[in-house]
Structure 1
Amino acid sequence: MTATEVRCVLVPVTGAELLLPNASVAEVTGYSEPEPISDAPAWMPGMLLWRGWQVPLIHFSVLAGIAEREELNTARICFAKSLIGSERMPYFALLTQAFPRLTTVDRSTLAEIPESERPIGVAGRVMLEESPAIIPDLDRLAHLVAHAAVGTLPLSGKTP
């Protein structure tokens, strides 16, 4: 790996693939039914107990308007590190449609797809070699999740 390469993970969600830095993914597990949260938005079906933490689960495709609902037949859970530095919510979980794939990204394999408007939670869209991918706005996602899960916004000095 060279200094210009970044190790990443392609996370399959309904209708798209998310490109995340490998360091942001804590673990991928099999699907388990979340404990519902009252009055939560449709993109947050509930909380999961993981390693002693209550972790909010999100359906990224529903949040970003890519799909109306997520399939659960082949679903997995991707636990991601929250970037807002909260002791109350150090992780959140993304529903995935299969196991994420490791990949190495550099300037020669990545090209930005220009767009005039971005859906909520999307930092940008790229072509990774010949495949489109979405780069999620992890900071914004963490703030949205914290607000929906525990009713506080923001949990850090950063604003969404």
Structure 2
Amino acid sequence: MSDTEIRSVMVPVTGVELLLPNATVAEMVGFTEPDPIPEAVDWVLGTILWHGWQVPVISYSSLIEEADGEDLKGARICILKTLIDTDRMPYMAVITQGHPRLVTITEDNLEEIPTESNPIAVAGRAQVDGRDAVIPDLDRLGHLVAHAAFGALPLTS
């Protein structure tokens, strides 16, 4: 048994669960209709105002082609800290289908699911305690969202 433990969350999105480090989740909020962004790609649903920030809201499931759309009835919004070095977009948000579940990742309960290739913004797939999960590539996701929502990569600080 390994002494390494990573506090994480399993976040249910349409069709899959995301495995995220707990430290990347800023807050879970109730669903509010995002303000649309003109000419945005279909997986960018718009922006919401959160603590003074215009936060882009996305359908991660649509981005990685796990779903054609989102059921917004009962949906929630998971605010994530971005990993990109910018003051312009420190947060992004993902539509979720329920509440996240806290998990502690150890060598014993994590098993990689090998794949030949992954969709854009997917770092890999794994099983945690027997449940399938997608591990997002948060760095790439932050850049994709910034580009799709604001038309250009954000200026770094």
Gaps of 5+ in 1: none
Q: Residue 54 of structure 1 aligns with which residue?
A: 54
Structure-2 separation of matches of 1:92 and 1:79: 6
Structure-2 separation of matches of 1:59 and 1:144: 12
Structure-2 separation of matches of 1:75 and 1:10: 15
Structure-1 separation of matches of 2:109 and 2:10: 14
Q: Residue 92 of structure 1 aligns with which residue?
A: 92
Q: Could you give the per-residue CA deviations for residues 35-68 of structure 1, whole angstroms, max 9, x where no partner exists?
A: 0001100000100000000000010000000000
Q: What is the number of equivalent residue pairs in this alignment?
A: 156
The DSSP-based 3-state class of the residue aligned with 1:35 is coil
Q: Residue 66 of structure 2 aligns with which residue?
A: 66
The DSSP-based 3-state class of the residue aligned with 2:74 is coil
Q: Residue 103 of structure 1 aligns with which residue?
A: 103
Whether the 8 Å CA contact 2:13–2:95 is kept in 1: the answer is: yes
Q: Residue 151 of structure 2 aligns with which residue?
A: 151
Whether the 8 Å CA contact 1:110–1:127 is kept in 2: the answer is: yes
Q: Residue 123 of structure 2 aligns with which residue?
A: 123
TM-score, normalised to structure 2, is 0.96
Displacement of 1:73 after TM fit? 1.2
Q: Residue 26 of structure 1 aligns with which residue?
A: 26
Q: Residue 76 of structure 2 aligns with which residue?
A: 76
Displacement of 1:14 after TM fit? 0.4
Give the AA of the match of 1:16: V
Whether the 8 Å CA contact 2:125–2:133 is kept in 1: the answer is: yes
Structure-2 separation of matches of 1:85 and 1:153: 11
Q: Could you give the per-residue CA deviations for residues 76-119 of structure 1, whole angstroms, max 9, x where no partner exists?
A: 00000000021000000000000111110111100110001101
TM-score, normalised to structure 1, is 0.94
The DSSP-based 3-state class of the residue aligned with 2:143 is helix
Whether the 8 Å CA contact 1:12–1:99 is kept in 2: the answer is: yes
Give the AA of the match of 1:36: P
Gaps of 5+ in 2: none
Give RMSD over aligned pairs: 1.3
Whether the 8 Å CA contact 1:84–1:155 is kept in 2: the answer is: no
